[in-house]
Amino acid sequence: MKSSMISALALVSMSIAPVSAAPIKVAAQTNNGSGVQCSLSSGVGHNCRNVLNFKTFYECQTNRMERGWTSIESSNYCRTLDLK
């Protein structure tokens, strides 16, 4: 009984894949072809576009946080889009 429990635990622990929690650096790429991207590093976004056509600030922030962005990153990005 003990050995089957230990085997099951070992199998479960090996099947759990590690998750990368690296912060997202780029929000969206601009369409001008120059390679300049939306940068949120200074807390103020530059060259950011509303590529997913968010209607409200809340919709934007919720969507970004569901995709792993922090509250600060999502707020800064959505603020640069001038959403109400």
Quick: pLDDT tens for 37-80. 677 666 666 678 888 999 999 999 999 999 999 988 888 888 88
Q: Which residue has the higher pLDDT, 77 or 11?
A: 77
Instruction: Round to whole Å and give the CA distance between 25 and 42.
Output: 11
9 in any annotated domain: no
54 in any annotated domain: yes
Q: What pLDDT sits at residue 41?
A: 66
Contact 57, 47 (CB under 8 A): no
Contact 70, 23 (CB under 8 A): yes
pTM greater than 0.85: no
76 in any annotated domain: yes
52 in any annotated domain: yes
State the residue range of the domain holding 49.
20-80
Instruction: Round to whole Å and give the CA distance between 45 and 78.
Output: 9
48 in any annotated domain: yes
69 in any annotated domain: yes
Instruction: Round to whole Å and give the CA distance between 42 and 68.
Output: 19
Q: What pLDDT sits at residue 30?
A: 47
- Residue 1 CA from chain centroid, whole number: 44
* Structural domain count of the chain: 1
pLDDT tens-digit map of 15-24? 665 555 555 5
